[in-house]
Amino acid sequence: MQIYKVGGAVRDRLLGKPVTDIDWVVVGATAEEMLAKGFRPVGADFPVFLHPKSGEEYALARTERKSGRGYGGFTFHASPEVTLEEDLIRRDLTINAMAEDDQQNLTDPYHGQRDLEDRILRHVSPAFAEDPLRVLRVARFAARYAELGFKVAPETLELMRQLSESGELEALTAERSWKEISRALMESQPQVFIQVLRDCGALKVLMPEVDALFGVPQPEVHHPEIDSGIHTLSVLEQAALHKQPLTVRWACLLHDLGKGLTPEEEWPRHIAHEHKGLKLIKAVNERFKAPKDCQELALLVGQYHTHGHRALELKASTLLELLQSFDVYRRPQRFEEFIVACEMDARGRKGLEQRSYPQADYLRGAASAARGVAVQPLLEKGLKGPELGEALKRERLKALKAYKESASS
């Protein structure tokens, strides 16, 4: 029995990055031997075991063969005869197909170390094209390592293109897709993930609503970058630079989908794109079964982001409607995320990345003014039910009018 550290742990050590998860491969062992040593079995598809003390995963060396469509369409064969090289060849990228023994001796049959040095994301073997999930994984690695100068090898991009055109991407489950998408959006350069998906034709399969934004112009006075797709990438880039959470990044990606529906004769204007985009945002949310908080914020940002930009001009009654839509009294955090999404939208424009956004503090002040209205005096007057609701609304409107006056003086 020989045990090797494999995959990401080896890759990240060689890159000088912190190693978080460690995967192990066991060569020359049977499942019975693992159980005898106290390992606990997990995984129905192939023999993976948890170490009795560390809890880390140890997998028996295995080969795989394509047997059906999609990510799960494989049969696996694990036996003591399977070599380390045979196990490594089934992996996605050369930089993930290296192994180390306990003396840190490197086994690198597919030249992963060379590709690390050359900053190349390259597939290990033609079998790469058998697993559609790898399209998303490679795009995610491109987003993670873009800051180090990594690029996808042209021949790997070509295989990704073939996969995108094969119909295999449609076989991915919403859960698997969302896991990769959400992880990619939280990388340091999530806009690279979207760009790579577009470069290989996967974006128009997975998110045609986002793909449709590229080539759609906007008024240059507000958008020096002009192209709606480029703007979306820039907004996503700003969200990552400002360390925003997943909810905000997802909303940033989807906020302008309505612009993809504008007839060409109306370009570069996009009248009512906020309202038109809601059905598209809803469709993307449902396609990937995004978490509820991501879905809700994306829809609210899509509908109201121009309200955010025009915050200082809004009437007190419109401000109140906006605050009510977000339920700022019970869910203040959601409104805060809306504000920062609007700010990322304003900064995601060529040459305007450092612009100030006074609307943010203005909206925070408005929310504070509305929340500051006390309910107790109205209860003491004997108001309840709809009467109480209306009285509360009137008092909040009064508070917002006073706030507007003080803010403009």
> Is 372 within any annotated ligand binding site?
no
> Is 72 within any annotated ligand binding site?
no
> Alpha carbon of 379 to those of 270, 367, 374, 384, 389: distances in Å?
46, 22, 10, 7, 11
> Is 394 within any annotated ligand binding site?
no
Assign 409 to helix, strand or coil.
Answer: coil
Determine the pLDDT at residue 75.
Answer: 66
Residue 366 lies in a domain: no
Rounded to whole angstroms, the Cα distance separating 352 from 364 reads 22
* CATH number assigned to the domain comprising residue 92: 3.30.460.10
Determine the pLDDT at residue 44.
Answer: 65
Residue 350 lies in a domain: no
> Is 167 within any annotated ligand binding site?
no
Rounded to whole angstroms, the Cα distance separating 222 from 350 reads 10
Residue 14 lies in a domain: yes
Identify the segments of the chain with pLDDT beneath 70. Answer: 43-46, 66-75
Residue 17 lies in a domain: yes
Residue 22 lies in a domain: yes
Q: In total, how many domains does the chain have?
A: 1
Would you say the pTM of this structure is higher than 0.75?
yes
Determine the pLDDT at residue 207.
Answer: 98
> Is 11 within any annotated ligand binding site?
yes
pLDDT in tens, 67-114: 555 555 556 788 899 999 999 999 999 999 999 999 999 999 999 999
Residue 261 lies in a domain: no
Residue 362 lies in a domain: no
DSSP per-residue codes, 164-205: HHTTGGGGS-HHHHHHHHHHHHTSS-HHHHHHHHHHTT-HHH
Determine the pLDDT at residue 64.
Answer: 73
Residue 137 lies in a domain: no
> Is 21 within any annotated ligand binding site?
yes
Rounded to whole angstroms, the Cα distance separating 39 from 32 reads 10
> Is 23 within any annotated ligand binding site?
yes
Determine the pLDDT at residue 63.
Answer: 85
> Alpha carbon of 303 to those of 208, 274, 279, 357: distances in Å?
20, 5, 11, 19
Domain hosting residue 81, numbered range: 1-111
